[in-house]
Amino acid sequence: MQTPGLKIGTRSSALAMAQAEETRSRLMAAHGLSETEIEIVPMSTAGDRIQDRALSEIGGKGLFTEEIENALLQGRIDIAVHSTKDMPTLLPEGLYLSAYLEREDPRDAFVGRTCARLTDLPQGAIVGSSSLRRQAQIRHIRPDLKVITFRGNVNSRLRKLEEGQVDGTFLAFAGLKRLGLEHVVTELMDIDRFLPAPGQGAITIESRIGDARIDALLKPLNHVETSIRLACERAFLARLDGSCRTPIAGLAQIEGEVLYFSGMILTPDGAVVHQVRMQGALAEARALGEEAADHLKIKAGAEFFTSWS
């Protein structure tokens, strides 16, 4: 299928560009296209430009998508490539998540400067993270540590770590793998102990609703198992009204014909944690995520969520 001038919009960070390159490679392989027929258009977003404040203070996840989505709606690009965990659950009218590439390892990776493991850090050590979910889980496991907001792309955070600004930090293992940086990991966190963010490790493609040409191009790229898992996780997130202001973790996994889901909500200080584990049919992925969220709402009680506001 020939489609001259296909344009992929993406953030301009090294990781975002790697994800766009992967998408281009898959499109080329699926349709016999040449590299020159698919242009990658790097774009600056507010989330990339504003580095001195936590996302929760300046608008949340949409700061990484707004400029790219505007370009998509205006027809200046044909598709947008994102990290799924960065995507708000409510998208602009006329856009949808039309494909998911096969998910990478969703686990979190600890990168320690002087100690290899989170539990080995001395009392009062400094750990940096920009994620409220990670901050809350760190505080839950090690309430004695000093947890600070630590923004920037992967390479800048690793540089700050090397400079001694913090004693350790957390990054998505999938992102490190895509950048060929697996070697920096000092501890790969067990999912049962440190639950990842909904959507972590998965690349998603956003496009215009009703664009038949683009839908046909993307259909071979969509990984069905990943789509099922993400339908569950994003339904869980949406039901809890999840944003960058809320410490929420969730992961769906498939074994045979059964979908298993683990979810967690925490107070920002990590002092109170509620967890849920459920299973269901693959065809009921979205309903399973919503049911898990409803279970946690009842379990935690309305007063729990006042700490999120």
What is the pLDDT averaged over residues 16-31?
A: 97
Cα→Cα distances 187→118, 182, 190, 265, Å: 8, 11, 9, 23
CB atoms within 10 A of CB 105: 17
Structure-block tokens of residue 113: 């400067």
Tokens (6 digits) for 102: 């096969």
In whole angstroms, give the CA distance from residue 168 to residue 22. 29
In tens, the pLDDT along 52-63 reads: 555 555 455 556
Give yes or no for a contact between 163 and 170, defined as CB atoms under 8 angstroms apart.
no
Q: Which of 48, 86, 108, 167 is catalytic?
A: 86
* Distance from C-alpha of 116 to C-alpha of 150, rounded to nearest angstrom: 19
Alpha helices in 191-300 (DSSP H): 212-218, 224-239, 285-300
Residue owning tokens 């907001």: 149
CATH for 108-188, options being 1.10.357.10, 3.40.190.10, 2.40.128.20, 3.40.309.10 = 3.40.190.10
Note the pLDDT of residue 61: 54
- Indicate the fold that domain 6-102+201-222 takes in CATH: D-Maltodextrin-Binding Protein; domain 2 (3.40.190)
Indicate if 108-188 has the same CATH topology as 6-102+201-222.
Answer: yes
The answer on pLDDT for 48 being more than 70 is no
Domain boundaries, the chain: 6-102+201-222, 108-188, 236-308
Give 101-126 pLDDT, tens digit per residue: 999 999 999 999 999 999 999 999 99
> Superfamily for 236-308?
Porphobilinogen deaminase, C-terminal domain (3.30.160.40)
Q: What is the mean pLDDT of the chain?
A: 91
- Cβ–Cβ < 8 Å for 24, 38: yes
86 given a catalytic annotation: yes
Q: Whole-angstrom Cα distance, residue 100 to residue 97? A: 8
**Whether residue 250 has pLDDT greater than 60:** yes
**Cα 217 from Cα 138, distance rounded (Å):** 42
Mean pLDDT of 257-269: 96
Q: CA-CA distance, 309 to 305, in Å (whole number)?
A: 7
Percent of the chain as helix, strand, coil, to the nearest 5: 40, 25, 35
Q: Would you list the DSSP string of 201-221?
A: T-EEEEEETT-HHHHHHHGGG
Give the position of tokens 């281009």: 24
- The residue type found at 128 is G
Q: Which residues contact 210 (CB under 8 A, 6 or more apart)?
A: none
Output the pLDDT for position 46: 61
pLDDT tens sequence across 178-218: 999 999 999 999 999 999 999 999 999 999 999 999 999 99
The confidence score (pLDDT) of residue 225 equals 98
Q: How far apart are CA 68 and CA 82, in angstroms?
A: 10
DSSP 256: T
Helix (H) or strand (E) holding 39: strand 38-43
Q: How does pLDDT run across 80-89, given as a tens digit for each residue?
A: 999 999 899 9
> What would the 3-class secondary structure string for 106-165 be?
CCEEEEECCCCCHHHCCCCCEEECCCHHHHHHHHHHCCCCEEECCCCCHHHHHHHHHCCC
Sign of CA dihedral 255, 238, 45, 96: positive
Q: pLDDT tens, 269-297?
A: 999 999 999 999 999 999 999 999 999 99
